[in-house]
Amino acid sequence: MSEIKRTRIVDLLNQHNFNQKISVKGWVRTRRGNKQIAFIALNDGSTIHNIQVVADTDKFGEEFLKSITTGACIGVNGLLVESQGQGQTTEIQAEEIEIYGASDPATYPLQKKGHTLEFLREIAHLRPRTNTFGAIFRIRHHLAFAIHEYFNKQGFFYFHTPLITASDAEGAGSMFQVTTLNLNDLPQTENGAIDYSQDFFGRSTNLTVSGQLEGELGAMALGGIYTFGPTFRAENSNTPRHLAEFWMIEPEIAFIDINENMDIAEDFVKYVIAYVMQHCKDDIEFLNKMYDNELIDRLNFVIHNRFVRLTYSEGIEILEKSGKKFEYPVYWGADLQSEHERYLVEEHFKRPVILTDYPKEIKSFYMKQNDDGKTVRGMDVLFPKIGEIIGGSEREADYQKLLNRIQELHMSLDNLWWYLDTRKFGTAPHAGFGLGFERLVLFLTGMTNIRDVIPFPRTPKNAAF
């Protein structure tokens, strides 16, 4: 095939500069036609739309055209022409075709359309080739980009926190251990414990559950920072909203209280949703049509309405008075389940909700303690269909109060002394939050299972691909 610079299909479909020679490369979605002519629908991942390639049998031969089957990868040089067919304006009159990789129709798993999402999870290595997953992963990209754009515009610095840590940021204990010790022959101390001094880092380490603690150090020097990286939780929650490896965005801001923290969280999610709606119109329209007819309405609703703000105690009162039978009981002090969160959002207020001032027992040690001695300045943002999408708080800035709480919870000062130092040297009021990236992708795509919004999901008993 002669050398012409490749054009992406998204760019070809957007222009009307006909009768020029172009080159496209991509994967065949379908081939149909008759004895004289073949129509090949080609997709290169740059857009949900295919471009139609028209190939004459006389020119290419019947055998050759027949070998261009669904899933095959081809390159085409030809003329960009105005389409005669319905529903498309641009097609390619093929002059040269090269088959880069054939795809055996007898064994190609995506030979037919209409597979279930469950089946596609079993072939995670090929599902990006489908319209659905192409759309989802393009949306994922644009969302990530929008997040960086938002914080960059606000003057926040992208701060890189470690993935391997010695501390348990959330104090929840559901961590993956990191070790180079030989598990079949563990070194022991005199009293029979594992001797971590012989481990790679000379101490016990794990994959991070959150970059927040290190992020706070960043905020106490740079003013406003955000992290955006993978986090790992070994909680055995096999739900449609939990992954063992997920991405989290954690801004941390000096000199703000919980109210400004809520303002930023609300402004931030609205901005990135609006950005994705603007930049992924075709993909969102496709998902709206195929999976969730209320998707676009829901997205518009969220960006145009103020989130309701109320305290956990007020939320509990509403739930208790609702007369609704929940699977998990509601009482002051209970950790809210997604059924409770969704009742408040979908049935009671009918808009996103920010709950604040949770009982200290169900929240992390670092949250600012209220004067009542019972609650802390935590905040959860709750979304329709999702439940909790953001968790955050104003941080306890007082050295003594934070130290007391750490000791009350019997947490190890060995691993947290550096964190306490921020409260010793130039402490300041500050706050931040964590957005679960995949939960927001769920919201933006209308998908209902978090395994379908990350290319290679990690869940209990599942790390095959």
Residues of this chain that bind Mg ion (CB under 5 A): 391
CA distance 95 to 23: 10
Q: For residue 81, give both structure tokens.
A: 């022409």
According to the binding rule CB under 6 A, does residue 315 interact with ligand 4AD?
no
According to the binding rule CB under 6 A, does residue 452 interact with ligand 4AD?
no
Q: How, if at all, do strands 51-56 and 164-165 pair?
A: unpaired
In this structure, is the dihedral angle defined by the CA atoms of residues 203, 208, 210 and 215, taken in order, positive or negative? positive
Q: Please provide the DSSP assignment of 244-297 as one string.
A: SEEEEEEEEEET--HHHHHHHHHHHHHHHHHHHHHH-HHHHHHHHHHT-TTHHH
Work out what residue 315 binds among ligand 4AD, Mg ion, none; the CB cut-off runs from 5 to 8 Å by kind: none
Q: Are 216 and 169 in contact (CB under 8 A)?
A: no
Q: Are 24 and 15 in contact (CB under 8 A)?
A: no
Cβ proximity to ligand 4AD, 199 vs 394, nearer residue? 394
Of the listed pieces 3-11, 254-262, 282-290, 382-390, which binds ligand 4AD according to CB under 6 A?
Answer: 382-390
Give the C-alpha distances (Å, rounded to integers) separating 38 from 42, 55, 69: 12, 5, 11
According to the binding rule CB under 6 A, does residue 391 interact with ligand 4AD?
yes
Minimum distance from CB of 301 to ligand 4AD (Å)?
20
CB atoms within 10 A of CB 79: 15
According to the binding rule CB under 6 A, does residue 394 interact with ligand 4AD?
no
Minimum distance from CB of 42 to ligand 4AD (Å)?
36
According to the binding rule CB under 6 A, does residue 438 interact with ligand 4AD?
yes
According to the binding rule CB under 6 A, does residue 214 interact with ligand 4AD?
no
Cβ proximity to Mg ion, 352 vs 391, nearer residue? 391
According to the binding rule CB under 6 A, does residue 218 interact with ligand 4AD?
no
Q: Are 450 and 439 in contact (CB under 8 A)?
A: yes
Residue in 436, 313, 317, 446 with CA at minimum distance from that of residue 382? 436
Angle, alpha carbons 15-17-20 (nearest 5°)? 125
Q: Please provide the DSSP assignment of 130-161 as one string.
A: SHHHHHHHHHHHHHHHHHHHHHHHTT-EE---
CB burial readout 136-157, b (16+ within 10 A) else e: bbbbbebbbebbeebbeeeebe
According to the binding rule CB under 6 A, does residue 250 interact with ligand 4AD?
yes
Minimum distance from CB of 310 to ligand 4AD (Å)?
18
Work out what residue 433 binds among Mg ion, ligand 4AD, none; the CB cut-off runs from 5 to 8 Å by kind: ligand 4AD
SS3 91: strand
Minimum distance from CB of 243 to ligand 4AD (Å)?
4
According to the binding rule CB under 6 A, does residue 242 interact with ligand 4AD?
yes
Mask 408-437, x = binds ligand 4AD (CB under 6 A)? Answer: ------------------------xxx-x-
According to the binding rule CB under 6 A, does residue 170 interact with ligand 4AD?
yes
According to the binding rule CB under 6 A, does residue 233 interact with ligand 4AD?
yes
Minimum distance from CB of 82 to ligand 4AD (Å)?
47
Minimum distance from CB of 421 to ligand 4AD (Å)?
19
According to the binding rule CB under 6 A, does residue 208 interact with ligand 4AD?
no
Cβ proximity to Mg ion, 229 vs 391, nearer residue? 391
Minimum distance from CB of 175 to ligand 4AD (Å)?
12
* Region of residue 357 (left: phi > 0; alpha: psi -120 to 50; beta: else): left
The residues binding ligand 4AD (CB under 6 A) are 169-170, 210, 212, 233, 242-243, 246, 248, 250, 388-393, 432-434, 436, 438-439
